[in-house]
Amino acid sequence: MSRSADTWILTAQCPSRLGTVDVVTRFLKERRCYITEQHSFDDRHGERFFIRTEFRPQDPDFDAQAFQAVFAPRAAAFEMVFELTAPEARTPVVIMVSKADHCLNDLLYRYRTGQLPIDIRAVVSNHPDLQSLADWHGLPYYHFPITPETKAEQEAQVWQVIEETGAELVILARYMQVLSSEMCERLAGRAINIHHSLLPGFKGAKPYHQAYEKGVKLVGATAHYINDDLDEGPIITQGVEPVSHADYPEDLVAKGRDVECLTLARAVAYHLERRVFLHAKRTVVFAK
């Protein structure tokens, strides 16, 4: 899921208009930048154009500020909003968890091995259970218990950690609390959640046990940006795993955990690599 260590990323979106690809590729050629990967999409219903380009500067003295300053007026002619991301960019992150450790463990492994270009600033939880795991990685751990009566106070504590750490992304790695409308609004477009996906849908306690009783043949997971609709934010990616009559509830739970880990990690990687564009209530995702 990682990209080349020496490539820059240029992402942009604008109204659908003739010449949108040309304005990007022509400029990169003029600036002696070699394109290594490119994706584009034109939404004919929304009349919106999206483009993501990875490139490698051919000149060793590549100046990012000069690049953006010269490209800005060309982009403005197309009402194009763009972003340039450096190869060494590491996104500051806060991870939120409850008691389940599988997604946190997976993220910490990918962080430790450099698979995810993140700078984990803190782990926040409504339970003390996973502090030893954070401690082992040398990460600050904040335990903020929550009750219906203290929800507003607890979220204020969480928000203070997010602000003080400068986190640009919040990962809900099986954080089993519903965020308030205010918190969802504050974190719009920069908080990713993961949850199980089962067809038919099973709500309430022990969804995998319910799925077993119905004899489901697939278990899955969905990673999405949070919004004010519970588990219904803009979807980034989904994963599935086949199961059979020979799988017992504990097998479904184990397979479900594996899918959750992989799906969440993929969604985080896509976000970090600027492969995801929020578009109304949907996403445009240039998967690798």
The mean pLDDT value of the chain amounts to 94
User: 55: closest CA among 88, 8, 89?
Assistant: 8
Residue 2 pLDDT exceeds 70: no
Residues of each domain in the chain carrying CATH 3.40.50.170: 91-285
Give per-residue pLDDT as tens, 151-167: 999 999 999 999 999 99
- 231 an active-site residue? yes
| Residues 195-218 pLDDT 10s | 988 767 777 778 888 889 999 999
Give the torsion sign (CA, 173, 89, 162, 190). negative
pLDDT for the residue numbered 151: 94
**What's the confidence (pLDDT) of residue 1?**
44
The mean per-residue pLDDT over the stretch 113-121 comes to 95
Catalytic residue (one of 42, 228, 231, 258): 231
Q: Which of 141, 67, 58 is nearest to 104 (CA)?
A: 141
Residue, of 120 and 6, whose pLDDT is higher: 120
Is 222 buried (19+), middle (13-18) or exposed (0-12) by CB count in 10 A? buried
| pLDDT at res. 228 | 85
CA distances from 3 to 54, 87, 114, 120, 269 (A): 9, 9, 11, 20, 10
Confidence of residue 174 (pLDDT cuts 50, 70, 90): very high
Grouping H, G, I as helix, E, B as strand and the rest as coil, residue 233 is coil
CATH number at 91-285: 3.40.50.170
Token pair, residue 26, equals 């022509």
What confidence tens digit (pLDDT) does each residue in 102-111 have?
Answer: 999 999 999 9
| Top CATH class, 8-85 | alpha beta
Of 203, 205, 260, nearest to 230 by C-alpha is: 203
Q: How confident is the model at residue 3 (pLDDT cuts 50, 70, 90)?
A: low
pLDDT 10s digits, 229-261: 777 899 999 999 999 999 999 999 999 999 999
> Which residues belong to CATH 3.30.70.260 in the chain?
8-85
Strands 91-97 and 169-172: parallel
> Which is it for the CA torsion 96, 99, 103, 107, positive or negative?
positive
Band of residue 120 on the pLDDT scale cut at 50, 70, 90: very high
Q: Exposed, middle or buried: residue 279 (CB in 10 Å: 0-12, 13-18, 19+)?
A: middle
